[in-house]
């Protein structure tokens, strides 16, 4: 039986968002009804309209808030990072870490993009473009400084994001690899794909020559 949470605005809205996220992830946007959402939250169906006007509004807010969080936290992750290589490592570590803990949000933002109406779709695509440009700028800086060898920055941007986001389909907490090991593996894949072959070989040689700590 659903828990009755009362009618306090902010508390109820947060419960609606959490329940909506869970139900859309489990059943899909089209299959979730507002009646089902109200029952999950523990309020009357008509009371939902005190907090959201439509199911479409809820979906758009969930996706936009997710991408805004992504952008805000990325800026913090890149703060004080110097040089394209260090910034690319920071981007990879952030993206992987974030997507390990936000599987529902990531899944909905990708799979339910098609369910947005044109106005909301355009707004979300613009936000996604802002995130993609952060990575594209890092790659462009690296190419300009001669530390990255990238034929097409836009293609590389899409490919890297697809690679990093792909872990949502297989990552499970408590698996064989630690979080740090998974991040390191993705950093190696990404860097090996954008660094000139001679620089990659030199880096590999340096890593082998580095003394072990402890």
Give 158-188 pLDDT, tens digit per residue.
999 999 998 877 777 777 888 899 999 999 9
Q: CA-to-CA distance for 63 and 27, rounded, in angstroms?
A: 16
Share of the chain above pLDDT 90, in %: 62
DSSP category for residue 50: G
What is the rounded average pLDDT for all residues in the chain? 86
Q: How far is CA 3 from CA 9, 39, 41, in A?
A: 16, 9, 7
User: Can you give the pLDDT at residue 174?
Assistant: 73
How sure is the predictor about 202, in pLDDT bands with cuts at 50, 70 and 90?
very low
Report domain 54-209's class: mainly alpha
Whole-structure pTM over 0.95, yes or no?
A: no
Q: What angle do CA 186, 127, 50 make, to 5 degrees?
A: 120
Q: Which CATH architecture has domain 1-52?
A: Orthogonal Bundle (1.10)
User: Can you give the pLDDT at residue 140?
Assistant: 97
Q: Is the pLDDT of residue 3 over 60?
A: no
Domain coordinates in residue numbering, the chain:
1-52, 54-209
Q: Are 116 and 63 in contact (CB under 8 A)?
A: yes
């Amino acid at each position: 039986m659903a828990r009755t949470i009362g009618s306090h605005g902010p508390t109820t809205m947060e419960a609606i968002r959490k329940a909506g996220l869970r139900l859309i992830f489990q059943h899909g946007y089209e299959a979730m009804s507002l009646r089902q959402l109200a029952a999950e939250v523990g309020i009357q169906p008509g009371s939902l309209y005190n907090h959201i006007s439509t199911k479409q509004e809820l979906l758009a807010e969930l996706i936009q808030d997710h991408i805004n969080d992504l952008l805000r936290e990325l800026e913090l992750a890149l703060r004080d990072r110097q040089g394209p290589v260090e910034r690319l490592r920071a981007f990879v570590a952030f993206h992987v870490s974030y997507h390990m803990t936000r599987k529902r949000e990531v899944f909905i933002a990708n799979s339910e993009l098609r369910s947005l109406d044109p106005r909301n779709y355009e707004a979300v695509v613009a936000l996604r473009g802002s995130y993609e440009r952060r990575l594209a700028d890092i790659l462009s800086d690296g190419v300009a400084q001669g530390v990255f060898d990238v034929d097409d920055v836009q293609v590389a941007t899409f490919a890297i994001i697809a690679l990093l986001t792909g872990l949502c389909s297989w990552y499970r907490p408590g698996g064989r690899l630690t979080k740090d090991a998974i991040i390191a593996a993705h950093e190696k894949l990404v860097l090996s794909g954008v660094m000139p072959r001679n620089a990659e070989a030199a880096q590999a040689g340096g890593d082998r020559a580095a003394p072990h700590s402890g």
